[in-house]
């Protein structure tokens, strides 16, 4: 095998791989017919995927989807940190000093912790050794055995930054679990997060928003069965319009209302420090198949719950969905870690016959009864029986996602949302196609007119360049966006520039009466450094954009970097091969 044949083999293999990589993007997944448009992997009934090669994913600006922007309450994250440090400090002081009378408090909104010793002589207990556990706090002595532990400004900044980054990571894990193709979750400004979910089905929009915004941690609390009826009976005859006192859950009373917010406002300030009220939705369906919800008859019911958290989702080692074979009802199966198993075992043993509320924030997910002690750290959360199978399964899956990936570190507030329709994406694609076609036509006409038959070689190389770029994007699982299309158009310009540099060098050698073979060899050799320098310089800019850019900028950078590699391969390697083959076959003089 001579050198020319080997080079042709490389080109054929590369072209075959590119076509293979692009096939899923041009074949309709349902019928296998060529449709000339990119297939949506989320809508194809039987997507064409062989050896993990999938169709080219279109971005939010091309195929539509959901755009959300949230603001992270970073100040709440700082306050929560100070609350935990205050509790930890108080525990450490009392564990180390038996009988020590000390109060450690943190008032919400303050950037310091207040330590109060009943006996001024005990202030020495807050020594350097104790403070070494809290390096971010600075001790400031006030008077009468009172200290202010002021948090460091740098620690506040780090906590806020970490809260935003942790929120981004948590949202990304939750969105990935939904199966959305190439989502974009980026930070904007100091505390904002922009979420783009391209190709999201309309039916999944509400589920995605609910899952992303879920900030609460899973908490296990005991219901106050002994005091439930007395608590709710006090409101008998005093309930505003729209409220009702019902007997539910085996004889226990509950105040109900169609609106959860109305219940929350009604019970605000009506419980003591040791209790709280939880709420659970009670759906009522129009049909027996439970496919259509009756909004008029569905309501929220309330539970009288002890405020003390007995166990949290932090102790959950594994969570998965399962189906009760007896009742064909989905549920969540939990395995606790060693410490969690111990706590859950004690909780179930001490509360046989009593109800436990499994809660997310103020929402009661389930309220099972401990029929017997449950050792071993295994439990299950039933999702109720009043909803359809698919609804129960979706709720169970969403709960598993939150358990596996944790709660958000701080509350997030949705600032706005936009559902981008596919018509906007189609308009963008059509405009880009027109711009690309006009640009390609002008390039072809110019190269053909100025370089005559040799211009055809540049056009062939340019066409292959576009194929390789698109195939690489599909193979890498990249998302094609409008900025990405701009990067492809820029790649065309760079490829033409490389061809012009090479052709001009070859023309110079021909003007010196060099033979066609020598002119091509010397021209490509001398032009190579200029072509590589230009592309390397552009590549450095692309790497900077990829490293520090976000969203559309990164999409542009990815396309640009792929285009640089493809341009060097087509403009230098393939163009040279076409020239050498033409000279070897036709023995004609190269016309440039």
Q: What is the pLDDT of residues 446-477, one digit of tens each?
A: 888 888 777 888 889 888 998 998 888 888 76
pLDDT attached to residue 48: 41
Q: Give the mean model confidence (pLDDT) for residues 234-251.
A: 89
User: Is the predicted pLDDT of residue 421 greater than 70, yes or no?
Assistant: no
Q: Is residue 34 predicted with pLDDT exceeding 60? A: no
pLDDT for position 426: 66
Identify the CATH number of the domain defined by range 422-586: 1.20.1640.10
Alpha helices of 369-481 — where are they, by DSSP H? 389-405, 422-451, 453-475
Look up residue 299 and give its two tokens.
């309501």
CATH number of 216-390: 3.30.1360.200
Confidence of residue 496 (pLDDT cuts 50, 70, 90): confident
CA–centroid distance for 11 within its chain: 39
| 51-67: pLDDT as tens digits | 445 567 677 777 777 88
Average pLDDT over residues 122-130: 88
74-156 with 422-586: one CATH topology? no
Strands 378-382 and 329-336 come out as antiparallel
d(CA 52, CA 30): 17
Higher pLDDT, 591 or 339: 339
CATH of domain 74-156: 3.30.1360
Reduced to 3 states (helix: H, G, I; strand: E, B; else coil), residue 363 is strand
Q: Ranked by mean pLDDT, which of 108-122, 172-186, 541-555 comes out on top?
A: 108-122
Position 21 pLDDT exceeds 70? yes
pLDDT the model gives residue 424? 55
Question: Per-residue confidence at 39, pLDDT binned at 50, 70, 90?
Answer: very low
3-state secondary structure 282-334: ECCECCCCCCCECCCCCEEEEEEEECCCCEEHHHEEEEEEEEECCCCEEEEEE
Average pLDDT along the chain: 81
Does this model's pTM top 0.95? My answer is no
pLDDT interval class at 444 (50, 70, 90): confident
Question: So what's the pLDDT on residue 32?
Answer: 35
For the chain, the domains span: 74-156, 216-390, 422-586
Find the mean pLDDT for residues 176-188: 74
Higher pLDDT, 406 or 132: 132
H/E element holding 115?
strand 112-117
Query: For residue range 366-415, what is the model confidence (pLDDT) as tens digits?
Result: 888 888 888 877 877 776 655 677 777 877 777 777 666 566 777 888 88
44-48, 83-87, 238-242, 433-437 — which one is most confidently predicted on average?
238-242
CB of 484 within 8 A of CB of 558?
yes
Is residue 198 classed as helix, strand or coil in its secondary structure?
strand
pLDDT given for residue 30 in this prediction: 36
What was the pLDDT predicted at 425? Answer: 58
């Amino acid at each position: 095998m001579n050198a020319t044949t080997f080079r042709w083999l490389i080109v054929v293999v590369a072209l075959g791989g590119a076509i293979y990589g692009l096939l899923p993007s041009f074949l309709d997944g349902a019928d296998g017919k060529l449709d000339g448009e990119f297939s949506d992997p989320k809508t194809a009934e039987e997507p064409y995927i062989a050896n993990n090669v999938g169709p080219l994913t279109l971005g939010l600006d091309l195929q539509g989807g959901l755009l959300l922007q949230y603001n992270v309450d970073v100040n709440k994250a700082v306050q929560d940190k100070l609350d935990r440090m205050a509790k930890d400090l108080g525990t450490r002081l009392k564990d180390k000093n038996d009988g020590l009378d000390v109060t450690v408090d943190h008032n919400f909104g303050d950037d310091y912790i207040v330590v109060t010793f009943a006996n001024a002589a005990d202030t020495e207990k807050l020594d350097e050794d104790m403070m070494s556990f809290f390096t971010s706090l600075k001790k400031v002595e006030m008077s009468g055995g009172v200290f202010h532990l002021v948090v460091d400004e740098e620690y506040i900044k780090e906590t806020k930054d970490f809260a935003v980054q942790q929120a981004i990571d948590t949202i990304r894990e939750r969105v990935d679990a939904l199966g959305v193709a190439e989502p974009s979750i980026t930070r904007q400004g100091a505390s904002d997060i922009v979420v783009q979910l391209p190709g999201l089905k309309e039916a999944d929009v509400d589920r995605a928003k609910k899952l992303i915004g879920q900030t609460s941690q899973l908490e296990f609390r005991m219901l106050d069965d002994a005091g439930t009826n007395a608590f709710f009976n006090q409101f008998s005859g005093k309930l505003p319009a729209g409220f009702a006192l019902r007997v539910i859950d085996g004889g226990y009373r509950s105040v109900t209302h169609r609106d959860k917010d109305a219940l929350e406002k009604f019970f605000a300030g009506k419980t003591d420090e040791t209790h709280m009220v939880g709420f659970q939705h009670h759906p009522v369906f129009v049909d027996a198949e439970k496919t259509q919800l009756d909004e008029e008859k569905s309501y929220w019911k309330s539970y009288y719950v002890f405020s003390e958290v007995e166990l949290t989702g932090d102790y959950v080692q594994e969570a998965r969905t399962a189906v009760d074979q007896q009742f064909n009802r989905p549920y969540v199966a939990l395995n606790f870690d060693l410490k969690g198993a111990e706590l859950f075992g004690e909780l179930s043993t001490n509360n046989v016959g009593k109800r436990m509320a499994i809660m997310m924030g103020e929402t009661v997910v389930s309220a099972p009864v401990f029929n017997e002690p449950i050792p071993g750290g295994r439990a299950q959360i039933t999702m109720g029986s009043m909803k359809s199978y698919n609804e129960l399964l979706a709720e169970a899956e969403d709960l598993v996602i939150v358990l596996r990936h944790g709660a958000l570190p701080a509350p997030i507030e949705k600032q706005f949302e936009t559902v981008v329709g596919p018509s906007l994406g189609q308009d963008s694609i059509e405009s880009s196609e027109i711009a690309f076609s006009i640009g390609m036509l002008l390039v072809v006409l110019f190269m053909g007119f100025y370089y005559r038959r040799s211009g055809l070689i540049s056009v062939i190389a340019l066409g292959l360049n576009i194929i390789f770029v698109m195939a690489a994007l599909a193979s890498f699982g990249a998302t094609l966006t409008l900025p990405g299309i701009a990067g492809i158009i820029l790649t065309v310009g760079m490829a033409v520039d490389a061809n012009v540099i090479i052709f001009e060098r070859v023309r110079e050698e021909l003007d010196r009466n060099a033979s066609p073979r020598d002119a091509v060899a010397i021209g490509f050799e001398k032009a190579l450094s200029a072509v590589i320098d230009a592309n390397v310089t552009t590549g450095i800019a692309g790497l900077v954009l990829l490293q520090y850019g976000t969203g559309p900028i990164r999409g542009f950078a990815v396309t640009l970097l792929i285009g640089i590699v493809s341009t060097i391969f087509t403009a230098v390697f393939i163009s040279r091969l076409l020239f050498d083959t033409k000279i070897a076959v036709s023995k004609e003089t190269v016309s440039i």
